[in-house]
A = this chain, B = another copy of it.
Amino acid sequence: MASASVRDVAAAAGVSVGTVSNVLNRPEKVTPGTLGRVQEAIERLGFVRNDAARQLRGGRSRSIGLIVLNAGNPFFADLARGAEERAAEAGLSVLVGNSDENATREAAYLDLFEQQRVRGVLISPLGDTGPQLQRLRGRGIPSVLVDRQTENSTFSSVAVDDVAGGYLAVSHLVAGGRSRIAFVGGPLVLRQVADRLEGGYRAAAERGSATLEVIETGSLTVTEGRAVGERIRALPPSERPDGIFAANDLLAMGLLQALNMSGDVTVPRDIGLIGYDDIAFASAAVVPLSSIKQPSALIGYTAVDLLLQESDGGDAFEHGQIVFQPELVPRESTATGA
């Protein structure tokens, strides 16, 4: 009952194990007659290669690891899809781990991937994972940072210019006549969040008229957004912002829900709201949500591409820092009366 091994197949077909392996990996080196007999035996015995043995001998696995901040965020689902596509082209598969913005979980996945000797790791890092990644590198496992620029040119990275994105977002709000801007997002240790904020500051500074206040959140979820929205709604009009830049669409949708719950404060009449990522649901929101669009699938695709280059490229390889430009997608949530 135990699964058949190459040895069993060899016996059944009356050839040696070496030949079976050739049939599997270099069929052109095998005589048609022999090839047929072996294939028939494989079929008959229901033989399926054991990946563990393969990898043990070969030294490298056939999968790459991907660690995302939040699997529930469609942005990452799209990114994963792109990564998977490029990996499939190379005959590899992608293992997705969800760190849930939790350093412990992130470390656990890195450990897991290290044990599995994955071909490489794509990671949307939480905090400072440098040391861990260096360590993987030492073991021959390259990594690519996704959705995160890095000053550190010892790693490849694929990201979107978050500072530019933040700038776009706040500029758009200000251009619409909003001047008391609030940035909602966090934790600020997330580089993406910090950069978006940075861009926002620049835009606000440029137009002297606008102020930018920061409301830091514990995570980037709908629930968190809703909580902040409740608080804002309860503020007296004078202290209330008239423009909100949310660090991602999940937060923005939560904010929207809470703000428009009662009629006293509404988006976009009293508050202009813009999110980030332009997830598919953004346009279907209570009030269609303005957002900053990122080429999510392309990021994943490109990241795997870089990874493969590094993995195969040998010494000649140069780490690449790829930066895409974000794009403003204005919708009703930032519409002005005019």
List the interface of chain A (C-beta within 8 A of B): 1, 3, 46, 48-53, 55-56, 61, 71-72, 74, 77-78, 80-81, 84, 93, 95-98, 111-112, 114-117, 135, 138-140, 222, 253-254, 256-257, 280-281, 283-288
Q: Which of B52, B256, B281 contacts A117 (CB 8 A)?
A: B52
Copies in the complex: 2
Q: Which of chain B's residues have a CB closer than 8 A to the CB of A281?
A: 222, 253, 281, 284-285
Judge whether A3 and B51 touch: CB under 8 Å. Answer: no
Q: Which of B72, B95, B286 contacts A78 (CB 8 A)?
A: B72
Q: How far is the CB of A141 from chain B (nearest CB, A)?
A: 10
Q: How far is the CB of A100 from chain B (nearest CB, A)?
A: 8
Give the docked Cα–Cα distance between A95 and B65 (Å): 10
The 6 closest A-B pairs by CB, nearest first: A52-B55, A253-B284, A51-B115, A52-B56, A72-B77, A281-B281
Q: Which of B50, B97, B140, B280 contacts A56 (CB 8 A)?
A: B50
Q: Which of chain B's residues have a CB closer than 8 A to the CB of A95?
A: 95-96
Q: How far is the CB of A37 from chain B (nearest CB, A)?
A: 23
Judge whether A61 and B52 touch: CB under 8 Å. Answer: yes
Give the docked Cα–Cα distance between A56 and B49 (Å): 12
Judge whether B112 and A93 touch: CB under 8 Å. Answer: yes
> Which of A51, A97, A98 has the most B CB atoms < 10 Å from its CB?
A51
Judge whether A115 and B81 touch: CB under 8 Å. Answer: no
Give the docked Cα–Cα distance between A140 and B1 (Å): 9
Judge whether A48 and B139 touch: CB under 8 Å. Answer: yes
Give the docked Cα–Cα distance between A50 and B56 (Å): 8
16 of the cross-chain contacts (CB-CB < 8 Å) are A1-B140, A3-B140, A46-B135, A46-B139, A49-B115, A50-B115, A51-B115, A51-B117, A71-B80, A72-B280, A74-B74, A80-B98, A96-B96, A222-B281, A284-B285, A284-B286
Judge whether A81 and B71 touch: CB under 8 Å. Answer: yes
Q: Which of chain B's residues have a CB closer than 8 A to the CB of A74?
A: 72, 74
Judge whether B284 and A254 touch: CB under 8 Å. Answer: yes
Q: How far is the CB of A278 from chain B (nearest CB, A)?
A: 13
Q: How far is the CB of A51 from chain B (nearest CB, A)?
A: 4
Give the docked Cα–Cα distance between A132 and B257 (Å): 45
Q: Which of chain B's residues have a CB closer than 8 A to the CB of A257?
A: 283-284
Give the docked Cα–Cα distance between A61 and B52 (Å): 9
Q: How far is the CB of A70 from chain B (nearest CB, A)?
A: 9
Judge whether A115 and B48 touch: CB under 8 Å. Answer: yes
Give the docked Cα–Cα distance between A318 and B183 (Å): 55
Q: Which of chain B's residues have a CB closer than 8 A to the CB of A84?
A: 98
Give the docked Cα–Cα distance between A147 and B283 (Å): 28
Give the docked Cα–Cα distance between A15 and B201 (Å): 60
